[in-house]
Amino acid sequence: KAGVTQTPRYLIKTRGQQVTLSCSPISGHRSVSWYQQTPGQGLQFLFEYFSETQRNKGNFPGRFSGRQFSNSRSEMNVSTLELGDSALYLCASSLQPENEQFFGPGTRLTVL
Amino acid sequence: AQTVTQSQPEMSVQEAETVTLSCTYDTSESDYYLFWYKQPPSRQMILVIRQEAYKQQNATENRFSVNFQKAAKSFSLKISDSQLGDAAMYFCAWGGNKLVFGAGTILRVKS
């Protein structure tokens, strides 16, 4: 069974731009969570989706948003990029909420 | 709010030896999960082991085992017969679908 896939793997943007990251969960998994990983703040929870509904949101500004489609694929969007948004963005999927999560390889975003 | 603390920024172990990584957490919830994830240089997060808080028995997965002390809110990971491939950053995490991670422990394995 294929694992969690994330596209693109690497991305370079400039301040003020917006970006969309994509995540395809493991087949059959309906829950998708997103995390931001930076050297300074570590791993931080962004949001969680289940059945196209956002169930939880972390402490991030409104510039960070996401959605989940009927096939469980998820996207996250960051608008008006700032230098501090440079990070590894990790997506994880699970069968149901509260089940163990399996992570994708991440998208490395660099904001110049 | 839940917090997870990993007090060892870096650990070293000789190949074939045993090493224990420490983790403490704070929560007011009674039912939860605890996890150890491994992140090698590739940055792919790999689930190592999972513990359900309501289970008294410590989880074991091959060379990996945990010492779960619920009252002390402690969840340490023991790696036996360490191998070069075990070298990675190890993260302790609390939760279910909203994981709270510790800062991580870099494990170096010496040959």
- What pLDDT, in 10s, does the model give residues B73-101? 999 999 999 999 999 999 999 987 689 99
Q: Which residues of A touch B103 (CB under 8 A)?
A: 42
- Name the band, by pLDDT with cuts 50, 70 and 90, for residue A97: confident
In tens, the pLDDT along A38-57 reads 999 999 999 999 999 999 99
- What is the pLDDT, as a whole number, of residue A100? 86
Closest partner residue to A42 (CB to CB) among B46, B50, B103 is B103
Using the predicted structure, report yes or no on whether residue A84 has a pLDDT greater than 90: yes
Q: Residue A25 in contact with residue A73, Cβ under 8 Å?
A: yes
In this complex, do B99 and A35 lie within 8 Å of one another by their Cβ atoms?
yes
CA–CA dist B41, B99 (Å, integer): 21
Nearest-Å Rg of the Cα atoms of chain A is 13
In tens, the pLDDT along B26-51 reads 998 888 899 999 999 989 999 999 99
Using the predicted structure, report yes or no on whether residue A74 has a pLDDT greater than 70: yes
In this prediction, residues B14-29 reach a mean pLDDT of 96
CA–CA dist B29, B80 (Å, integer): 31
- Name the band, by pLDDT with cuts 50, 70 and 90, for residue B22: very high
- Name the band, by pLDDT with cuts 50, 70 and 90, for residue B1: confident
3-state class (DSSP) for residue A82: coil
Q: Which of B6, B35, B97 to mutate: most A Cβ within 10 Å? A: B97
- What is the pLDDT, as a whole number, of residue B97? 67
Q: Which residue has the tokens 């969309």?
A: A20
Question: Closest Cα of chain B to A9: distance in Å?
Answer: 11
